[in-house]
Amino acid sequence: MTNEKTVADKIKKLIEDQPDLGAGQIAKMLNTSAAYVYHTKRNLLKKQIEMIKPEADLVNHPPHYKAGGIETIDFIEAKKLNYNLGNVVKYITRADLKGNRKQDLEKALWYLKRELSRA
């Protein structure tokens, strides 16, 4: 296994230093198979892509906002809910995603009682 890692490191170095070399050429130079060179190149490319992936937008679109395939705010606006009812929906739909389910459900209940007092 150590030898494979060494060969993979050599492949990566050759790719970095001489990007125009083909897999067959690299395989011959290192006495390995072209399939192994392709495999190593693919893994290297995957790591490079992961490094440039944009991070989640924690201000505008945190992952827990879109759980279930729709952002809660889009649902609230589509249903034309007022502030209190919108917050009821918001706290209920995110209750299982933020780490304190009971507190979020209590907040939803607080807004619901506030809305009921206006009725």
pLDDT at 97: 82
Domain residues for 105? 63-118
**Pair (81, 109) in one structural domain:** yes
pLDDT tens, residue by residue, 38-89: 888 888 877 776 667 677 787 887 777 777 788 899 999 999 999 999 999 9
Greatest pairwise CA separation for the chain in angstroms: 81
Cβ–Cβ < 8 Å for 97, 64: yes
Does residue 41 lie within any of the structural domains?
yes
CA angle 72, 75, 79 (to 5 degrees): 145
The mean-pLDDT minimum among 13-22, 59-68, 83-92, 97-106 falls in 59-68
pLDDT at 106: 97
Across all residues in the chain, what is the average pLDDT? 86
Number of domains comprising the chain: 2
Query: What's the pTM value of the predicted model, to 2 decimals?
Result: 0.51
pLDDT at 44: 82
**Pair (46, 74) in one structural domain:** no
